[in-house]
Amino acid sequence: MSLAGIAQESADEMDSLCSFQTGDEWFGIDTRKIREVLGELEVQRVPMAPAFIAGVIPNRGDVLTTLNFRALLGLPEREGQHPVLVLEDEEQGERFGLMVDAVGGVVTVRGRMLEQNPSTLAYRGKALFDGVYKMPMGLLIRIEPSKLRPMRLAEIGLLRSSSRGE
């Protein structure tokens, strides 16, 4: 569905987003697409994996691939434990984790507050972001989990430069 389509249909609908922080920015993901919010935990690294993958975590009997959101945004890595959001891509039925700096709370937004990605945004942002909400306290960047699907990220070649090396 195109971005304009989303905006039109949901112009007056209320959406609840879960907000989280990475770097200096705040982001939001539709709460219906979040399966679970895990507290601070250690993510097991996977050798030879692309840089945007933080590693794997055990979750409800499965081993989930976990993305490093800082790496996706091109920020330097931070040591230690981080909260992880468990997201689900409904089309593919694939669950995966998203490692972020901090989790905020649930915010309610109106569809009409959504602004398309500003045209001056870097390519990296365009590929990941879904638009921006103009909130009273600042901007909230909307993230669509299906755009973060690990396989898609691997395919579009974003951040190919990885820790791969002999």
Let me know: does 77 contact 162? Beta carbons within 8 Å.
no
CA angle 76, 120, 6 (to 5 degrees): 95
The answer to whether residues 132 and 125 touch, using CB atoms and an 8 Å cutoff, is: no
Minimum distance from residue 56 beta carbon to other proteins (Å): 6
Q: Shortest distance, CB of residue 55 to other proteins, whole angstroms?
A: 8
Q: Kindly tell me which of 81 and 163 has the beta carbon lying closer to other proteins.
A: 163
HSE-CB at 117 with a 13 A cutoff on CA atoms is 17
**Residue (38 or 153) nearer to other proteins, CB:** 153
Contact between 39 and 155 under an 8 Å Cβ cutoff? The reply is no
Question: Which positions touch other proteins (CB under 8 A)?
Answer: 44-50, 53, 56-58, 61-65, 94, 96, 150-151, 153-154, 163-166
By beta-carbon proximity to other proteins, the closer residue of 28 and 55 is 55
Q: What's the closest the beta carbon of residue 91 comes to other proteins, in angstroms? A: 14
